[in-house]
Amino acid sequence: MGLDTDGLRLFVLAADMLNISAAGRRIGMAPAVSSTKLAKLEQSLGAELLHRTTRKVSLSIEGAEFLPFAREMIAQEEAALAALGKGTAQVSGTLRFAAPSTFAQLYIAPILPKFLDQYPDLTLDLHLSDVQFDLIEGSYDLALRNAPLPDTSLKGRKLADDKRILCAAPSYLAAHGTPKALSDLAGHKLIAFRHLRPRPLRTAQGDTGQFNPGAAKSQLIMDDGLSQKHTTLAGAGISLNGLWSVHKEIASGQLIRVLPEYEGDEGNVLWLIYPKSNVLSPKVRVFMDFLIGEIGNNPPWEN
C-alpha cells in the first residue's frame, strides 16, 4: 500500500497542532484541500486518525499508534533525498549529541560556531562526559565513542584512529626512573582511568602485555581524561592516553613516551555512532559530515 507523503506530513502536523486547517496552511494547503487530503489518508489506512468535532480536533487511539510510524516514514524520505543531495528538507530542530568531555573540549567546542553559522535553525544539546553511557536509553541522536563497538544495536562511521600511548612527565621519570621493560611498570605509580581493569598493549612486532594499575602502585583513580593528563603533567605517575590528548605535550617535551614500542591494543577507533533503529536524518547527517570534514579527514594529532 502506497501512502501519500503529503498526507502523512499533514497528519503529523495536525496531530501536533490539533488543528487541521492550521496544519494545512503550514505546508501550503487550503483548508478544503487539507481536509480532503486527510480523509483520503484515513480511507487508505482504514482507520480514523483524528476525531473532529465543530469545536476541536483530538488524536484517536489508532492515530496515536500510527503517529510514530508516520514520523519515521517522513524522516526516511528526507534522509533518502539528502543522501542523493536532493530534497529541500530544512535542517532544524534539536540534535542531542554525546561525546567524551576531554575530546570535545579540545576538538569539537572550538569548531561549533562554524557549524551553527551554517545551520542557524538547528540547536545542539550536548552531553559531555568521559564516563560511558547508554546511547539508546539516553535517547541521543548521535554520539562520539572512543571504544570498540560490540553492540549490534548501533551503527557508526569512523572519525579517526585512536592510538593509545604510555607517557609520564620528565619530573616523574627523574624521581622514579624510566621503565626499560613492561615488567618494570609493576614498581611504578600508574594512573588508573575509570576502573582498575588491565589494558592490553602490543608492539609492532606482535609482543603483548598489559598496562595494569591494579597490580602496581596506583594512588590515583579518575574518570576524567583531562584531569588525568594534568596529573600526569604534574608528575603523579605514568598514564595511558589517546595520542589526540597528549600529542602537543609530547612534541614540546612536557611529557615523555614511556616504553614507546608499546601501544594500546584494544582496537580503539573514534566512532560517530547512532542507534541502528534510527533514521539517519538530515540534521544527523550534516553534523557527521561536518565533524569528519573538520577533524577526521586530517586529524591534528597525526600531523
Residue 184 shares a structural domain with residue 138: no
Q: Are residues 254 and 285 in the same domain?
A: no
Residue 88 lies in a domain: no
Q: Is residue 230 located within the same domain as residue 278?
A: no
| 259 and 278 belong to one structural domain | no
Which domain CATH number covers 133?
A: 3.40.190.10
**pTM of the prediction?**
0.68
Say if residue 10 is in the same domain as residue 148. no
- Domain shared by 260 and 177, yes or no: yes
In a domain, 169, yes or no: yes
Tens of each residue's pLDDT in the chain, 303 residues? 567 888 998 998 899 889 999 888 888 888 889 999 999 999 999 999 999 887 889 999 999 999 888 887 877 776 666 656 555 456 777 888 999 898 999 999 999 999 999 888 888 999 988 776 655 445 688 999 876 665 666 788 899 999 999 999 999 999 999 999 999 999 999 998 766 788 999 999 999 999 998 888 777 888 888 899 999 999 999 999 999 999 999 999 999 999 999 999 887 889 998 876 556 778 888 899 999 999 999 999 987
Residue given cell 492515530 in the structure block: 63
Domains in the chain, number: 3
- 130 and 275 in a single domain? The answer is yes
Find where cell 502506497 sits.
2
- Are residues 169 and 221 both part of a single domain? yes
Where in the sequence is the domain holding 292, given as residue range(s)?
93-162+268-302
Same domain for 282 and 157: yes
**CA dihedral (199, 233, 133, 94) positive or negative:** negative
Query: Which residue, chain included where needed, has cell 547508554?
Result: 134
43 and 169 in a single domain? The answer is no
DSSP line for 51-113: EE-SS-EEE-HHHHHHHHHHHHHHHHHHHHHHHTT-------EEEEEEE-HHHIIIIIGGGHH
151 & 273 share domain: yes
Alpha carbon distance 147, 163 (integer Å): 11
Cell of 78: 528526507
Query: Domain check: are 128 and 158 in the same one?
Result: yes
Helices (H), the chain: 5-17, 20-26, 31-45, 61-83, 101-103, 112-118, 170-176, 225-233, 243-252, 282-291
